[in-house]
Amino acid sequence: MTVTERSLGDELKEIGVSSQEQRKLPRRAEWSPDGSCFIVSGEGGFVELYETQQMATLEPAVKLSESESVRDLAWYPLMNSWDAVTCVFATCCKDTPVHLWDAYSGSLRASYRCFDRMDEISAPCSVSFPTSGEKLYCGFESLIRVFDISSPGRDCIEISTGQKSKHRGLRGVLSTISWMPGESNLMLVGSFSGSVGIFDPRTMQKAGPTAVLGCNSTGVIDICGSPDGNTIFVAGRRDNVIHIWDIRNTDSEISPFGRLSDSNQRIGIDIDRSGTYLYSGDRSGCLRRFDLKTSELWEPAQCADDCLSDVSVHPDANLFCTIYGERCFETQAEPDISASSPSTDSADDENPQKPGKQISIWKSMGQSQENQS
């Protein structure tokens, strides 16, 4: 990987900012498949939907609340804002069923209930729709449950991922599920054990994974597939590189991309639809762009002073949604008995700390010119 002299900060223009003191730490951001809106979810169970046409003010059009922090969310892949029936998304959180929400009204459309051996509610760590939109895949510990979205309830198919041979099985909590673009229809499943399993949904129940990639010993948190269907990009927690694999030759890993991710916090990645650039946040608040055709790293753009935990690329326009924030614990310093001036406390009361920005919308000015040329 080489570093280019081109600066991402020179091409980006911030066109929308949201900072709310009452909002808790955001975790995920995801544009809708048709690009008409995007969702932000996070701790405390908040889920907010923003319309693309209202990016200047960034006031949520729809608000809803889960009982616990949202672990994962997924848009219905055939979503079209002109067809209200398709405007739904799924969320999962601790100790609750998987919920299918109406993106227009914020009302609950359906629930998909998972139970353990004690017949108690068991919540998945990840959810995902295949490109056909007919099924809903839920990731548990060494287990995938598959629901028919037209049949809410508890009826599902259970597929074990960890009962195969030691070298082929995928064990651990299945932290993320994504799909390889193109006609291959392969499912990419990441685990907190640090491995990625490649599955064919047509044969996975009997044959297990077609390949298991050992990417990261500390846990996989996000996976992206290139639009040409040949390359897999894997991000992990406490891992300062993005691992790259060629799906046609999984024996060895391609030279990785570097970033700053030295905590257990999820820091997501995303690829634009053309397959030209890979984007990633990092702990220092920078947005990074990797050129997938030349293997060059652009000079990062400093977007915030806080951790840039997720980035989502608009499916059509040159827009990016970024979210910020990390847990900060205040440390109480020992009082200085010798100090007689009480001005410190009064100064803090007069100048309270303002909440930092949590959501930003960026427009890439230079990339639009490249697409036109």
Other CB atoms within 10 A of residue 183 CB: 8
Question: For 43-69, what is each residue's pLDDT tens digit?
Answer: 889 999 999 888 877 889 999 999 899
The per-residue b/e assignment along 123-148, b for 16 or more CB within 10 angstroms, e otherwise, is: bbbbbbbbeebebbbbbbbbbbbbbe
User: Which residue would you say has higher pLDDT here, 300 or 350?
Assistant: 300
pTM: 0.88
Answer for the pair 35, 51: CB distance below 8 angstroms, yes or no: no
Task: Give me the phi and psi of 130, to 5 degrees please.
Answer: -70, 170
**pLDDT at site 28:** 92
Task: Tell me the percentage of the chain whose pLDDT exceeds 90.
Answer: 54
Residue 15 in this model has a pLDDT that exceeds 50: yes
Other CB atoms within 10 A of residue 254 CB: 14
Residue 353 in this model has a pLDDT that exceeds 70: no
Other CB atoms within 10 A of residue 270 CB: 22
Q: Name the pLDDT band for 328 (thresholds 50, 70, 90).
A: low
Pairing of β 157-160 and β 174-179: unpaired
CATH number of the structural domain 22-284? 2.130.10.10
Residue 235 in this model has a pLDDT that exceeds 50: yes
Task: Give me the phi and psi of 329, to 5 degrees please.
Answer: -110, 125
Calculate mean pLDDT across residues 159-172: 75
Q: Tokens at residue 58, please?
A: 């960034």
**pLDDT at site 349:** 39
Residue 26 in this model has a pLDDT that exceeds 80: yes
From-to residues of CATH 2.130.10.10 in the chain: 22-284
Q: In whole numbers, what is the pLDDT of the chain averaged over residues?
A: 85
Exposed, middle or buried: residue 5 (CB in 10 Å: 0-12, 13-18, 19+)?
A: exposed
Q: How many CA atoms lie within 13 A of 111 on its CB side?
A: 13
Residues near 159 by beta carbon (within 8 Å), at least 6 away in sequence: 143, 144, 145, 146, 204, 205
Calculate mean pLDDT across residues 243-249: 91
| Strands of the 98-102 sheet, one edge to the other | 70-75, 88-93, 98-102, 108-112
Calculate mean pLDDT across residues 309-322: 92
